[in-house]
Amino acid sequence: MAKLKWGMIGGGEGSQIGPAHRLGAQADGVFEFAAGALDHRPEAGREYAQRLGIAADRAYGGWEEMLEGERNRDDRIDLVTVATPNSTHFEITKSFLEAGFNVLCEKPMTMTVEEGEEIVRVAEKTGKICAVNYCYSAYPMVRQARAMVAAGEIGKVRTVVTNFSHGHHGDATDADNPRVRWRYDPAMAGVSGQFADCGIHAMHMASFICNDEVETLSADFASTIASRELEDDAMVNFRTSGGTVGRLWTSSIAIGRQHGFVIQVFGETGGLRWASNSRTS
């Protein structure tokens, strides 16, 4: 089978999620990493892309250059992953869809609901795939939990309790680190910091396992490090359309806690628990 030609925007050297995408693509064995605009610094992006094995003429200095470069090639990329900070997702994703590429966009897909709806319209019009990687829902045991709920093995679901918290942004003296700072800056992250970064995975997972939609919520957002405009800790209560009660805590200042995600689902006749690692409680 011919490999799919894959491109990436963002995910430069030292980025958090870039290596995870490359590792995943390599593990699947069906992708050829063919093009990239990997860094907001053009030269650093070109240089790193070539170090990763991308040909010099497809190691681009920016996403616009990559769009122009790939658009008219006979061997153009089949899909592109967008792994840049949130504020850039909409423009890049829309532009690549409109040029006929399939797109895997990092979460959160856009900064506003209106932008998200626009992306859906463009994807439908062009017939191209636009996926957003809520990656945790792909774990086999999560799929098993969803199947058990669907089969009625724990009865009607009453409550979901979940947390996705870590302490990696708990050091106030590191708050100006460029890789940390954008996450709490509304201009780059959007309306939410930690909830959009990690809490959103927990909320998506609650919907995914229960096959249900979150309908209403109330939230207590706190910026515990004073220089941060957006929240670094949040407690969220929600209700689903099926009547399930949800409790969600997310934090990036939980020092001593590793990056970890837990979800528990309690039904009328049983309960389920999944954790992303054994150190997570």
Sign, CA dihedral 119-125-128-134, equals positive
Least Å distance, CB 182 to ligand NAD, is 6
**Distance (Å, whole) CA 107 – CA 79:** 17
Give the nearer residue to ligand NAD in terms of CB position, either 41 or 73. Answer: 41
109-138 mask for ligand NAD (x: CB under 6 A)?
Answer: ------------------------x-x---
CB–CB of 145/264 below 8 Å?
Answer: no
Axis crossing angle, helix 113-126 with helix 89-98, rounded to the nearest 10? 10
Pairing of strands 214-222, 260-267: unpaired
Minimum CB distance to ligand NAD smaller for 82 or for 149: 82
Binds ligand NAD (CB under 6 A): choice among 4, 24, 47, 88 = 88
Q: Note whether 197 binds ligand NAD by CB under 6 A.
A: yes
Beta strands in the chain (DSSP E): 4-10, 31-37, 79-83, 102-105, 130-132, 157-165, 214-222, 233-240, 245-251, 260-267, 271-275
In this structure, what token pair is assigned to residue 258? 């590793």
Which C-beta is closer to ligand NAD: that of 106 or that of 231? 106
Tell which positions 207-236 bind ligand NAD, by CB under 6 A: none
Report the DSSP beta bridge partners of residue 183. Answer: none
Q: Which residues in 5-64 contact ligand NAD (CB under 6 A)?
A: 9-12, 15-18, 37-40, 62-63
Residues β-bridged to residue 4? 31
Q: Are 223 and 230 in contact (CB under 8 A)?
A: yes
Q: Count interface residues toward ligand NAD (CB under 6 A).
A: 25
Q: Which is nearer to ligand NAD, 16 or 216 (CB)?
A: 16
Please identify the residue of the shown chain whose CB is closest to the bound ligand NAD.
12
**Sole window of 26-34, 77-85, 158-166, 168-176 interacting with ligand NAD (rule: CB under 6 A):** 77-85
Q: How far is the CB of 220 from ligand NAD (least distance, A)?
A: 22
Residue with tokens 């990656």: 135
Give contact residues for ligand NAD (rule: CB under 6 A).
9-12, 15-18, 37-40, 62-63, 83-86, 88, 106-107, 133, 135, 179, 197
